[in-house]
Amino acid sequence: MIKPEAAAAGHAGKILDMITGNGFRVVAFKYTRLSAEEAGTFYAVHKERPFYGELVEYMASGPIFAAILEKANAVEDFRKLIGATDPAQAAEGTIRKRFAESKAKNAVHGSDSDENAAIEGAFFFTGREQY
Ligand code: ADP
Ligand code: MG
């Protein structure tokens, strides 16, 4: 996902360019908005974390771009491309170093495993929206 603040700031084109320029193939892509309930479901794994309420409110605060991306070693390589959760810790040349505002408003979401990537992809896209 390209998160609400990055989408609102008009960074989606540059972020997508970094993604495709680093060898990821776009399988599916859409501009959409999560309700608070949907954001809560999407981030249910973080339910017990102190920032969960803030995270859900933020992710439902405006439209986002959702994508399914394909590449060998995609999860690990995408996390390398986006950089650390906290942009202050993110390496030079990463998406979060360039576009994140803060640890909470950190521009992009990346799946943390192949299993979760499949669940998260199916959350946003039907089979006929994936190519
Ligand atoms: P990542 O997105 O790098 O996988 P996490 O899965 O740990 O990071 O957290 C999910 C999201 O929750 C982060 O991308 C960020 O938007 C938010 N978040 C994480 N830690 C904090 C925190 N300490 N305070 C506020 N928001 C946070
Ligand atoms: Mg995560």
Q: What is the pLDDT of residues 48-81, one digit of tens each?
A: 999 999 999 999 999 999 999 999 999 999 999 9
Tens of pLDDT, residue by residue over 3-31, are 999 999 999 999 999 999 999 999 999 99
What is the CA(85)–ligand 1 centre distance, in A? 6
Q: Is the CB of 85 under 6 A from ligand 1?
A: yes
Range of the domain at 85: 4-36+62-126
Decide if 46 is catalytic.
no
Contacts of 99 (CB under 8 A, 6+ apart): 6, 9, 11, 14, 15, 107, 108
How many domains in the chain? Answer: 1
Count other C-beta atoms under 10 Å from residue 23's C-beta.
Answer: 14
20 is a domain residue: yes
Report percent pLDDT > 70 for the chain: 100
Q: Which ligand is nearest to the CA of 5?
A: 1
pLDDT of residue 65: 99
pLDDT of residue 70: 98
CA–CA distance, 35 with 115 (Å, rounded to integer): 24
47 is a domain residue: no
What is the CATH classification number for the domain harbouring 122? 3.30.70.141
DSSP assignment of 117-131: HHHHHHHH--GGG--
Cβ-contact 16, 81 below 8 angstroms: no
18 is a domain residue: yes
Q: What is the pTM of this model?
A: 0.97
Q: Which ligand is nearest to the CA of 106?
A: 1
